[in-house]
Structure 1
Amino acid sequence: MDTSPSPERFPNPTQAPPSNSDIKRWRRYLADERAEAAIYRGLARRRTGEEREILLELADAEGRHEQHWRDLLGDHADKPIRPSFRRILLRFMARSFGSIFVMALAQRAEGRSPYSSEPAATDAMAADELIHEEVVRGLATRGRARISGNFRAAVFGANDGLVSNLALIMGIGATGVSSSFVLFSGIAGLLAGALSMGAGEYVSVRSQRELLAATKPTQITLTAAPDLDLNGNELVLVYRARGMSQEAAEHRAAERMGYLDCDCDPSLSLQTPDVYENEYQEIGTGWNAAVSSFLFFATGALVPILPYIFGMEGLAALVVSLGLVGVALLFTGGVVGLLSGSSPAKRGLRQLAIGIGAAIATYLLGLLFGTSVA
C-alpha cells in the first residue's frame, strides 16, 4: 500500500511527493520536537524566574518546529512514532529530576541537530537549533556554577581514591605478600589519602576565599566620599586602580561625592558585587570541600579493597578489584563528561585508561620487586 501523501498537502504542489523514507524521517523529527518541548517544559516546572521563562520560550520554539513538520506531513502527522531513545531518556529525567545533568544532555542534543543538512528544514530552523545550543549552554553554566565547588572536590576525590588505592594494592599484591597484608595496606592507603585530600581541599578553598576577600572592593568610598576634595583626585585613583579609564573614574567619583545627579552605567565598574558573590558561590566553603573530599576519596578507595574484605585472595582478588574500579572510573568519567558538555563515553574511557595504566605500572613494579626479593 502506497502511504505517500497527495501533493496538495504540501506547501509546494509542483514538487514531487515525498518518498516513504522522507515521511519516516519527518515523522521522527516531529516526534523529537515534541519530546524536546516536553523536556523544556519539564525543566521549567522545577525552575523559577528568568530561567523558567527562558525554558518555556525554548519549548515554544520547538513547538514552531513541530508545526513545520505537521504541515509537511499532513495526515501522516497523526500516526504516532516514538522519539529517539536519547530524547525519551531526557524527557523522563526532566520530569523526574530536573537536574543539571538533563541540561548538559540537552545541550549535546541541540548540538547534534540534523537540520543543517536536511533539505525539508528551513534555514531559520537550522539557525534556531544553533542558538538553542548556546541558550542551553548558558543555563547549564548557571547550574554548573551552583555545584562546581563541592562537586569538583567530590569527583576528584573519588577518582583519586579509585586510582591511588588500586595502584597501591596492585603493586603490593604483585609482590606475593598475604591477602591480609594487602587489605591492611589498602585500609591504610584509604585513611591516609582521605585525610590528605580533606586537609588539602580545606587549605585550597580557604586560601581562594581569602584571596578573593582581599581582592573584593570595600564600601569605604561611600562613607568617605562626602568629606573628600574632588580636586584632590583620591577617589578617582581608587576607580582607576580598579581598571577604569580616567574619564569613567572621574565620572564615578563625582557621582559618589554627590556632584552628579544621574544614574551611571554599571558597566563602568571593573567588577560589581554580584560578580564576587558568584565567585564565592563557585568556590564553595572550606569545610564543605574538605568533608566532600574526605568522604568521596574514602568511598573511591574502598572499591579496590572490597574483594579482600569479602575474603578473596591472590590473583582473583586483583582481577575483581581491577574490574570494579574500571566500572567506577567509567561512571565518574561519564559524569564529568556530561557536566562539561563533552562526550560521556570519551571522558569515561579516558578515565579508565589513566586508572588502568597506573595500576598496570605499579603491578609490573611489584612483580619486579617481588622477584628481586625472592
Structure 2
Amino acid sequence: MPNRAWPPSDHTSRSGRLPTEQATTRDVRRWRRHLAEERAEGALYRDLAARRQGEERDILLGLSSAEQRHADHWAALLGDRADHAVRPSLRSRLLGFLARHLGLVFVLALVQHAEARSPYDADRHATDTMAADEKVHGEVVRALATRGRAKLSGSFRAAVFGMNDGLVSNLALIMGIGATGVENGIVLATGIAGLLAGALSMAAGEYVSVKSQRELLMASRPTRVTLEVAPYLDIDANELELVYRARGMGADDARHRAAERLGQHACDCDPSRSAHPAHLPADDLQALGSGWTAASSSFLLFATGALIPILPYLVGATGLTALIVAAVLVGLALLVTGSITGLLSGASPLRRGLRQLAIGYGAALVTYVLGLLFGAVGI
C-alpha cells in the first residue's frame, strides 16, 4: 500500500472514504481515545524534555511535536466533537506521573514498550505515515533509553543485583534451616549470619572487581609520553610511527601523524582511523564508578535484601507462619527488583519480575525440601 504524505488534506482514511461524514458512534469513541492518548504522550515528552538539556531535549521535543501532529489528525476527523474531553488511559496517566517524578531512563524504558504496541497498524482511519511514525518513535525512544542505561553507574547496577542476591540467598537459607524443625532462635541466628557473610562477601567482591577493572582500563589508556619525548627522537628512525601503528593506525596514517608530531609537516591523515580499543574515553571510568562506592552499595543493598526474610522472626513469628510470611515478603521484593533489572536491560518489567520470582522461589523450595529430608533423618 503506498504511503501518503502527512497530513492528508481531505483527512481520508486508508479505505479512501470520508470517515468524518460516515463515522459511527464506535468510530467517534475510538477517535476520542486516540486524541486523548496522543495529547497525553505529547505532554509526556514535553515533561521529559523540561528536565533535559542539549540534544536529548531537542529529540524529546521533536517527539512531542510528532504526537501533536497525530492529535491534530484525530481532532480534524472529530471536528466539533473533539471538544468532548476524554481522559487518557490509566497507563498514559501513570507514565505522565512518572515522567515528573522519576529518572529519564526508567520512564523511557516504559515508554519504549508502550510505543511498541501502537494501534495504528490495524486502524483504517489512521494514515500510513502515522503508523510508520509510531514505529520510528519506538526506535528513537529505544535509542534514548539505551543511552540512559549506558550512563547508569556500575555501583547502581551492583546495588540492584546485590539486593536480589540477598533476598534469594537468605530466603533459601532460612527455609532450609527452618524446615529441619530447629528452634526459632537458631533460624534467626543463621539468617543474621547469612546476612553478614553474604554482605561482606558481596562488598569485597565488588571492590576487587571494580578496582581491577579500573586498573585494567588505566593500563590500557595511551599516555602522553610520545608528546614529551618527540623532540628527542631520531627523525630518520622515527620510532613514533611504531607507536601509532600499535594503536591501530594504518602505516601511511601512522607515518603522517608521526611526521606531524616531529614537526615535519601538517598531518593530512584521517583522525577517525586512529580509533582503537586502547583509546578509552574518560567516561568509561566515570561510568564504572569507584571501588568503595560499589562495595558500600553492594553491602547495604545485600544486607537490606537479606534482612527481609528474617523480619518475621525479629517480630516474634514462629514456625511455618514465619516461613510463609518471609516467603511472601521476599516474593514482593523480588517482583520489584526483577522489574528494575528488566528496565535496565530493556526487557519487559513484568516478565523479568515474574522470572525473578520463579527463580527465587525455586531456590527456596529446593532448600526447604532438603531441610525436610535432613530433619526427617535427624541430621
TM-score of the aligned structures, taking structure 2 as reference length: 0.90
Question: 1:97–1:21: structure 2 CA closer, same or farther, 3 Å change rule?
Answer: same
Asked if 1:241 corresponds to 2:246, the answer is yes
Question: 1:258–1:35: structure 2 CA closer, same or farther, 3 Å change rule?
Answer: farther
Residue type of the partner of 1:232? A
Aligned partners of 1:37 and 1:58 also within 8 Å: yes
Q: Following TM superposition, by how much is the alpha carbon of 1:329 offset from its aligned partner in structure 2, in angstroms? A: 0.4
Q: 1:169 aligns with which of 165, 174, 177?
A: 174
Aligned partners of 1:9 and 1:71 also within 8 Å: no
Alignment correspondent of 2:115: 110
Range 244-253 or range 317-326, more displaced? 244-253
Number of equivalent positions: 367
Q: 1:59 aligns with which of 58, 64, 80?
A: 64
Residue type of the partner of 1:123? D
- What SS does the corresponding residue of 2:275 show, helix, strand or coil? coil
Aligned partners of 2:49 and 2:60 also within 8 Å: yes
Residue type of the partner of 1:32? E
Alignment correspondent of 2:55: 50
Alignment correspondent of 1:89: 94
Alignment correspondent of 2:151: 146
Cα distance in 2 between the residues matched to 1:83 and 1:76: 16
Q: Following TM superposition, by how much is the alpha carbon of 1:229 offset from its aligned partner in structure 2, in angstroms? A: 4.2
Alignment correspondent of 2:302: 297
- What SS does the corresponding residue of 1:173 show, helix, strand or coil? helix
Aligned partners of 2:168 and 2:360 also within 8 Å: yes
Matches within 5 A, 1:1-374: 10-11=11-12, 14-15=17-18, 17-261=22-266, 265-271=270-276, 275-373=280-378
Q: Following TM superposition, by how much is the alpha carbon of 1:102 offset from its aligned partner in structure 2, in angstroms? A: 0.9
Alignment correspondent of 1:4: none
Aligned partners of 2:259 and 2:267 also within 8 Å: no
- What SS does the corresponding residue of 2:126 show, helix, strand or coil? coil
- What SS does the corresponding residue of 1:120 show, helix, strand or coil? coil
Q: Deviations over 1:106-159 (max 9, x none)?
A: 122222222233322223222222222222222222322222401111111101
- Identity of aligned pairs, percent? 63
Range 20-29 or range 272-281, more displaced? 272-281
Aligned partners of 1:10 and 1:73 also within 8 Å: no
- What SS does the corresponding residue of 1:43 show, helix, strand or coil? helix
Cα distance in 1 between the residues matched to 2:292 and 2:48: 31
Cα distance in 2 between the residues matched to 1:86 and 1:263: 55
Cα distance in 2 between the residues matched to 1:117 and 1:258: 66
Question: 1:170–1:61: structure 2 CA closer, same or farther, 3 Å change rule?
Answer: same
- Root-mean-square deviation (CA), in Å? 2.2
Cα distance in 1 between the residues matched to 2:304 and 2:145: 27
Cα distance in 2 between the residues matched to 1:43 and 1:272: 34
Question: 1:21–1:244: structure 2 CA closer, same or farther, 3 Å change rule?
Answer: farther
Aligned partners of 1:46 and 1:98 also within 8 Å: no
Q: Following TM superposition, by how much is the alpha carbon of 1:50 offset from its aligned partner in structure 2, in angstroms? A: 1.8
Q: Following TM superposition, by how much is the alpha carbon of 1:232 offset from its aligned partner in structure 2, in angstroms? A: 2.6
* Unaligned ranges ≥5, structure 2: 1-8
Cα distance in 2 between the residues matched to 1:48 and 1:197: 36
Residue type of the partner of 1:333? G
Cα distance in 1 between the residues matched to 2:156 and 2:71: 37
Residue type of the partner of 2:123? E
Aligned partners of 1:149 and 1:281 also within 8 Å: no
Question: 1:78–1:334: structure 2 CA closer, same or farther, 3 Å change rule?
Answer: same
Residue type of the partner of 1:105? L
Range 70-79 or range 364-373, more displaced? 70-79
Aligned partners of 2:12 and 2:18 also within 8 Å: no
* Unaligned ranges ≥5, structure 1: 1-7
- What SS does the corresponding residue of 2:125 show, helix, strand or coil? coil
Question: 1:86–1:350: structure 2 CA closer, same or farther, 3 Å change rule?
Answer: same
Question: 1:371–1:125: structure 2 CA closer, same or farther, 3 Å change rule?
Answer: same
Aligned partners of 2:253 and 2:269 also within 8 Å: no
Aligned partners of 1:9 and 1:73 also within 8 Å: no
Residue type of the partner of 1:97? L
Residue type of the partner of 2:102? F
Range 91-100 or range 313-322, more displaced? 91-100
Cα distance in 1 between the residues matched to 2:52 and 2:233: 46
Question: 1:272–1:360: structure 2 CA closer, same or farther, 3 Å change rule?
Answer: closer
Cα distance in 2 between the residues matched to 1:18 and 1:98: 41
